[in-house]
């Protein structure tokens, strides 16, 4: 598999949280909490090289030179539903950043994405977009979400997910080789229903307790 634009975050804490998410005994309350935590830990890597500007800050005892990220530069875009669980973990880290939403569902027969809701900030074309969806399965939803963002003139997109199937990575690399993919792991394969094996099940259902 070509892993050129793929970054697997091997940090022990990330891998530990991933195992908790995978565990079928993890109930929705803990699943939500741990999804927030792993997303925040991974966001640390995603933002490692984000542009900063120099500031001089008055401390109680003097003036300290430093750097800040301009929150206005970033927009987080969860793909509904499961991406919402990741947004809750990372938005508090940069509370001035904006949040857009893309609602897609997979047609169970064709496995192709259907858009049902798109709401993006008007100035999204001037921002770095961090696209959030825990599962990169067939890759079709992610390709469609990136198409939507590129149509809105977004120039810099980073995908942050938790788990991927090799098949999905290949599809995204074919259509959007410019988008870096940050993940905690790449699993073996997809099953015939488009689920990642061994994966963690349906992330939306596990997050919201709908099954």
Binding positions for ligand URA, 128-157, rule CB under 6 A: 135, 137
> At 182, is the secondary structure helix, strand, or coil?
strand
Minimum CB–partner distance for residue 168 and ligand URA (Å)? 9
Minimum CB–partner distance for residue 191 and ligand URA (Å)? 8
Say what the alpha-carbon torsion angle 106, 111, 114, 116 is, to the nearest 10 degrees. Answer: -10
Closer of 128 and 187 to ligand URA (Cβ): 187
For residues 47 to 86, the per-residue mask of contacts with ligand URA, x marking binding by CB under 6 A and - elsewhere, is -----------------------------------x----
Angle between helices 83-90 and 28-46 (to 10 degrees): 60
Closer of 44 and 117 to ligand URA (Cβ): 117
Count of Cβ atoms closer than 10 Å to residue 139 Cβ = 24
Task: Using DSSP bridges, classify how beta strands 113-119 and 101-106 pair: parallel, antiparallel or unpaired.
Answer: antiparallel
Q: Is 89 in the site for ligand URA (CB under 6 A)?
A: no
Q: Give the list of residues 6+ apart from residue 97 with CB closer than 8 angstroms, or none.
A: 71, 72, 73, 74, 75, 76, 91
Question: What secondary structure does DSSP assign to 59-115, as a single string?
Answer: ETTEEEEEEE--GGGEEEEEEETTHHHHHHHHGGGSTTSEE-EEEEEE-TTT--EEE
Task: Select the span of 4-12, 27-35, 117-125, 190-198 touching ligand URA (CB under 6 A).
Answer: 190-198
Task: Select the span of 36-44, 68-76, 118-126, 193-201 touching ligand URA (CB under 6 A).
Answer: 193-201
Q: How far is CA 148 from the centre of its chain?
A: 16
Q: Is residue 110 flagged as an active site residue?
A: yes
Task: Select the span of 57-65, 92-100, 178-186, 191-199 touching ligand URA (CB under 6 A).
Answer: 191-199
Q: Is residue 123 flagged as an active site residue?
A: no
Tokens 């969806």 locate to: 133
Largest Cα–Cα separation, the chain: 65
Minimum CB–partner distance for residue 178 and ligand URA (Å)? 24
Task: Select the span of 20-28, 97-105, 112-120, 188-196 touching ligand URA (CB under 6 A).
Answer: 188-196
What is the binding site for ligand URA (CB under 6 A)?
82, 135, 137, 194-196, 199, 202-204
């Amino acid at each position: 598999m070509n892993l050129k634009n793929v970054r697997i975050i091997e940090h022990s804490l990330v891998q530990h949280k991933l195992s908790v998410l995978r565990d079928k005994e993890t109930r929705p309350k803990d699943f939500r909490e741990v999804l927030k935590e792993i997303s925040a830990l991974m966001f640390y890597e995603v933002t490692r090289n984000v542009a900063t500007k120099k500031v001089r800050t008055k401390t109680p005892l003097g003036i300290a030179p430093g750097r800040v990220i301009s929150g206005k530069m970033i927009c987080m875009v969860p793909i509904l539903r499961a991406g919402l669980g990741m947004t809750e973990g990372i938005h508090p880290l940069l509370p001035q950043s904006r949040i857009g939403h893309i609602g897609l569902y997979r047609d169970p027969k064709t496995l192709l994405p259907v858009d049902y809701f798109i709401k993006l900030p008007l100035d999204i074309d001037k921002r770095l977009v961090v696209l959030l969806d825990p599962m990169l399965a067939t890759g079709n939803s992610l390709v469609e979400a990136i198409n939507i963002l590129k149509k809105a003139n977004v120039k810099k997109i980073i995908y942050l997910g938790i788990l991927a199937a090799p098949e999905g990575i290949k599809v995204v690399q074919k259509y959007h080789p410019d988008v870096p993919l940050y993940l905690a792991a790449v699993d073996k394969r997809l099953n015939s229903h488009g689920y990642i094996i061994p994966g963690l099940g349906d992330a939306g259902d596990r997050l919201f307790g709908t099954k």
